[in-house]
Amino acid sequence: MNEIQRSKIILKILNKLYPSTPIPLKHRNKFTLLVSVLLSAQTTDVNVNNVTKNIYPKYNKPEHFVRLGRKRIENLIKSIGIFRVKAKSVYLLSKQIIEKHGGKVPDNFDDLEKLPGVGHKTASVVMSQGFGYPAFPVDTHIHRLAQRWGLTNGKNVVQTEEDLKKLFPKRSWNKLHLQIIYYGREYCKARECYGLTCKICTTCYPARKKPLITKKA
């Protein structure tokens, strides 16, 4: 079975399991989506949602966070990992969005990736989930699963994104990256399966006997 055949099987399984894909990070607008994605680094979506549910009803625009200032933002998000670094990024990107983009989140990769604390993965999530632009955000979980499923050599997340984009139809990207995340959380967890037990792994590699060691992002 080659990677094209595997990709078709995977898409079929995921579409059956996850016909709808709600966005995991709770948000009120494109700006709060951007903030939530930034906050989600090295923590879980659940942790982020637990914190932002008390923030977004009152603070949900760039000008709100500029007025708050870094220290008050730190206090609001201190239960999230590396909160000082994240608070600085939220404050500075809020300021930049006001000064350079008229208070609106940029709708292109170049400008998004120039915002403080925003890398390609964060920009991809905002373009995909915020603007509906075809993108394929690859985090550590998708990077791991793509290797287990034989869709990439796992060199790095950049290579994995390129490989996945070649294998799957462009129209499927926005939904598919969420389907993969959901599947990984439920069936093909980091410290379970190891390429041996879930439906996708056993269907794509029925003869695999040893745990697959994947390369880290």
Integer CA distances (angstroms), 35 to 1, 84, 87, 107, 113, in order? 41, 14, 10, 15, 14
End-to-end CA distance of the chain: 26
Model pTM? 0.93
The pLDDT of residue 38: 97
Q: Which CATH number fits domain 3-21+136-204: 3.90.1150.10, 3.40.640.10, 1.10.1670.10, 3.30.43.10?
A: 1.10.1670.10
Q: What is the fold, at CATH topology level, of the domain defined by 30-130?
A: Endonuclease III; domain 1 (1.10.340)
Q: Please, where in the chain does CATH 1.10.340.30 lie?
A: 30-130
The pLDDT of residue 217: 74
Q: Which two tokens stand for residue 112?
A: 């998004």
The pLDDT of residue 142: 96
Q: Is 5 exposed, middle or buried (0-12, 13-18, 19+ CB in 10 A)?
A: exposed
Q: Please, where in the chain does CATH 1.10.1670.10 lie?
A: 3-21+136-204
Report how far residue 131's alpha carbon sits from residue 142's, in angstroms, rounded to the nearest whole number: 21
Burial code (b: 16+ CB inside 10 Å, e: under 16) for 31-68 equals bbbbbbbbbbbebebeebbebbeebbeebbbbeebbeb
* pLDDT by position in tens, the chain (length 217): 899 999 999 999 999 999 999 999 999 999 999 999 999 998 999 999 999 999 999 999 999 999 999 999 999 999 998 999 999 999 999 999 999 999 999 999 999 999 999 999 999 999 999 999 999 999 989 999 999 999 999 889 999 999 999 999 999 999 999 999 999 999 999 999 999 999 999 999 999 999 998 988 7
Q: What is the DSSP string of 182-214?
A: HHHHHTS-TTTTTTSSSHHHHHH-TT--SPPPP
Enumerate residues 6+ apart whose C-beta is below 8 A from 210. Answer: none
Report how far residue 91's alpha carbon sits from residue 73's, in angstroms, rounded to the nearest whole number: 8
Residues marked active site are found at 121, 139
